[in-house]
Amino acid sequence: MWTIKTYGIKGGLNISKYQFIMGYFLALIFFSIASFIFTKKSFLHKKVLSHGEFKSVPNYYGYCSTIWTLLGAFTLIFVLATTKKLSLELFTLATLIFTVALNLFVQKKLSGEFNARKHFEKAFMIILKITSLISIIITFMIIASILLEALRFFSQIPLTSFLFGTKWSPQSAMPGAAGAGNFGAIPVFLGTLLITTIAIIIAVPFGIYSAVYLTEYANKKFRSIAKPILEILAGVPTVVYGYFAAFTVAPFLKSLFANFGIPIEAESALAAGVVMGIMIIPFVLSLSDDVMNAVPDALRSASLGLGSTKSEMIKKVIIPAALPGISGAVLLAISRAIGETMIVVMAAGLNAKMTFNPLESVTTATAQIVTLLVGDQEFDSNKTLAAFALGITLFVITLMLNLFALIIVKKYREQYD
């Protein structure tokens, strides 16, 4: 807790560091809005009095004033933050005085001859480049952090034993290379492939056919209602889908197969795959719908004018023209399914098996990562480091799928006027 002296009042005001930071940034936001409004009105007044033409509209002068004021304030905050000898009161007073003085200085320097629009657009472009660079740096930091830990794992467990081994039992493995036989990842990736295949079998037909109906058959009123409702499914948290799979779909499938005398486990790949397919239907639908809508109406009219029926037009004109985009949507949906965790943990189980039977309990790479990193773990053991090995493998797989999708879209994309 920090204490700010309140003169004339006994004691002081006790606030936490986070309360102070939030309050201070809210004050800066309020001041920036006030600066924009004041500068804009000031230049409106100057424009009326001068009867002259400024090089920019008053809004841009307000933008420039706000940007430079905030930039100076954040720079001073960074400088003063490194000086630990300043008290909280002096820190606050110094930054506020500097911010006000800088704002007044900027407003004094701004004039009608100054091209505020060009200056603002240049500053905004610099901000965009900086944010893009930060995103790239963060991405490389994430990759490096996973890769370094994965390399520690592979320094003790051979890569061939990990990629081609048929037994996955990290909990029973002892530290060192002696436990290499317990880190065979084939059962884990077989489970991932099985559940992803079931999900894609459900999501792709439903998603594409729904997109065809909404694009070519549904009227505008129904489309405006149905598409947002379907896309709401994409915003539902995955843990909700997990509960739906574990407490609704899995018991239903168990009772259904029991009527035919077919045994099915309480946690099965089928239950997880079905719910995962439902989850990614909006993903395929939305992307496919956008691609089909991009096909020019001239192609539709030409096909119908040559005597084609609507179904023939869709099969022979619309879908072939939109096929690159649809293929990209399917590959991106596969990447989404591979990376799903909660549904698998709650509905598919954690048993690493060499099986293609969807009625059995299996596991996936993401589920194993969660299992290996839950609780107090030591990051110098093969058991924990195996999670990073699975993570970097999944990263490579999804990266290859995404690159393949981009290649397909770019190579076969049609350019329409």
What is the residue-averaged pLDDT of the chain? 79
Q: Cβ(300)–Cβ(364) under 8 Å? A: no
The radius of gyration of the chain's CA atoms, rounded to the nearest angstrom, is 30
Which fold does the domain 170-412 belong to in CATH? MetI-like fold (1.10.3720)
> Distance between CA atoms of 340 and 234, rounded to whole angstroms?
13
> Distance between CA atoms of 394 and 388, rounded to whole angstroms?
10
pTM of the model: 0.73
Q: Cβ(384)–Cβ(377) under 8 Å? A: yes
pLDDT by residue for the chain (417 residues), tens only, comes to 444 444 444 444 455 556 666 766 777 777 777 777 777 777 666 654 455 566 667 777 777 777 777 777 777 666 666 665 656 666 666 767 776 776 677 666 666 666 777 777 887 888 888 888 988 999 899 889 889 888 888 888 888 888 888 888 877 655 544 455 678 888 889 989 999 999 999 999 999 998 888 888 888 888 888 888 887 877 788 888 888 888 888 889 888 888 888 888 888 889 999 999 998 988 888 888 888 888 888 888 888 888 888 888 888 888 888 888 888 888 888 888 888 888 888 888 788 888 888 888 888 888 888 888 876 566 677 888 888 888 898 888 888 888 887 787 777 665 554
Domain coordinates of the chain in residue numbers?
2-132, 170-412
Q: Give the model's pLDDT for residue 19.
A: 64
List of residues 6+ apart from 235 with CB closer than 8 A: none
